[in-house]
Amino acid sequence: MTGLPKFAAWAATAALTGALAGCGDGLDHSSQRAYQPLSSEMQALMTEKGAQPSSPILIRAYKKEAELEIWKMRSDGQYTLLKTYPMCRWSGQLGPKTREGDRQVPEGFYNITPGQMNPQSAYYLSFNVGYPNALDRALGHKGGSIMVHGACSSAGCFSMTDKQIAEIYTIAREAFGGGQRAIQMQSFPFRMTAQNLAKHRLDPNMAFWKNLKEGSDYFEVTKQEPRVAACGRHYVFDAQAPEGQTLDAAAPCPVLKEDGDVKARVAEKEQIDARRVAELSKTIKPVRVLYADGGQNPHFASQRGEDVSRPDALVQAPTEIALDEPVASKPAPAAHPASPKAMMAKLPHPKPAPFNVAHAKAAGQSVAARAVEPAAAPVSSTVAALAPIPEPTPPTSSIGRLLSKLDPRSKPAPAPMQLAPTAPAPAAEE
């Protein structure tokens, strides 16, 4: 039990932390539960996984599936899954915690230090997950003292059974005793599978969840704890600020230093997952899932009773509300040039001026000659009436040649028809 001496030195600080816990966690001064030895079964499991009791651990939690995982570092520096615990109770909805009293279980990346362990918890045993972190504060998220504890009761916490938290607490205590300074806890709305991402693709939290998936992908690809920081109001992973600079969660990100090989491997995984999500989205209807108040792992379905917080909310299955895909606006069809026939139909067709026979006779003109002459244009002034009409420019295009046929100036007038006169015509002037 190498972790016991060091752990005992942190007990006083941890007890004070527990007194301020947000899930109603108080003090149980008679408790000696924090110093239970690691079971022989757990020691055997660690040996089977190639890990030591004193080696570092990492915690991952999934709200929708109501599961909490403990990962243990092997001798080669990579993490291996040690054990998955069914979660007895979590509260609220899928999505991050944003304010005090919203009953939301936080989502994100958090650090658990020895001082956050509460050996005298009123909820059997507990530890504070470290909410809010730097990104939560930059986003204006409020609240605090979110715990992993026993008693199967949640008002924003990760709640386990007393037996479960006793084992988890002991595993963490041994890791701290072995020299681990902080335990990383990764909290997700659900497992970052293509199926879940396709199903929840229209959820308003999806942009945030994709950022969480990036950190999950770093861990999945390397099986090492990702270095987590924040800038530009989002998480960044395995990235460092330029020399002499620091990362600020609320400030824009500078040019980051990253491991090119790891980044390429993560990008490859993201591309494979994105293609799978796109394929599944063709058949999976997008939904928004609503809970009466959180959930519980199905493992406990037959054990619900008075010891569970809000059992009435667990009776109601979560509701899936189908969402409609946004309809992309169709572009207007390209305009086609009008055909010559259509253009001709739109042209004006002026009516010829009325013809007065008596006036034509008086002017010494034949009826036939007058009939083929163009109508005189109305004269608004003497100068306009005497101005010569310019010769039209020969058309060069097919449309121009077609339109020119409508212009009476574009062709010579036909010779007047010779009709038998009814009276002798006057002699032609020379």
State residue 200's pLDDT score: 98
What tens digit of pLDDT does each residue of 109-123 get? 999 999 999 999 999
Query: Which residue has better confidence, 299 or 28?
Result: 299
**Is residue 411 domain-resident?**
no
**Catalytic-residue membership of 253:** no
Tell me the residue range of the domain where 244 lies.
192-286
Average pLDDT on 386-402 reads: 48
Q: Are residues 279 and 298 located together in one domain of the fold? A: no
Q: Are residues 124 and 232 located together in one domain of the fold? A: no
Q: Are residues 141 and 34 located together in one domain of the fold? A: yes
- 7 pLDDT higher than 50: yes
State residue 387's pLDDT score: 45
- Residues of the chain with pLDDT > 70, as a percent, come to 68
What tens digit of pLDDT does each residue of 195-239 get? 999 999 999 999 999 999 999 999 999 999 999 999 999 999 999
Domain-terminating residue out of 305, 322, 339: 322
Q: Are residues 248 and 230 located together in one domain of the fold? A: yes
Average pLDDT on 94-102 reads: 97
Q: How many domains does the chain have?
A: 2
> Domain containing 18 — which CATH number?
2.40.440.10
State residue 332's pLDDT score: 54
Q: Are residues 256 and 308 located together in one domain of the fold? A: no
Q: Are strands 67-73 and 239-240 parallel, antiparallel or unpaired?
A: unpaired
Q: Are residues 78 and 205 located together in one domain of the fold? A: no
Domain-terminating residue out of 303, 322, 341: 322
**Is residue 306 domain-resident?**
yes
Q: Are residues 128 and 28 located together in one domain of the fold? A: yes
What band does 374 get if pLDDT is binned at 50, 70 and 90? very low
Q: Are residues 147 and 277 located together in one domain of the fold? A: no
What band does 256 get if pLDDT is binned at 50, 70 and 90? very high
Say which of 23, 88, 157, 231 is annotated catalytic: 157
Collect all residues with Cβ–Cβ distance below 8 Å to 186 and sequence separation of at least 6.
Answer: 58, 59, 60, 61, 109, 212, 215, 216, 219
**Is residue 362 domain-resident?**
no
Q: Are residues 28 and 137 located together in one domain of the fold? A: yes
**Is residue 54 domain-resident?**
yes
Q: Are residues 92 and 124 located together in one domain of the fold? A: yes
**Is residue 390 domain-resident?**
no
pTM check: above 0.85 = no
Q: Are residues 95 and 9 located together in one domain of the fold? A: yes
Q: Are strands 79-86 and 108-112 parallel, antiparallel or unpaired?
A: unpaired
Please report where in the chains the tokens 């470290």 appear, as a residue.
130
Please report where in the chains the tokens 């009435």 appear, as a residue.
312
**Is residue 226 domain-resident?**
yes
Average pLDDT on 75-83 reads: 97
Average pLDDT on 46-73 reads: 98
**Is residue 347 domain-resident?**
no
Average pLDDT on 59-77 reads: 97
- 309 pLDDT higher than 90: no
Inter-residue contact 87 to 297 (CB < 8 Å) = yes
Q: Are residues 180 and 208 located together in one domain of the fold? A: no
- 421 pLDDT higher than 50: no
Say which of 149, 152, 200, 231 is annotated catalytic: 149
**Is residue 176 domain-resident?**
yes
**Catalytic-residue membership of 149:** yes
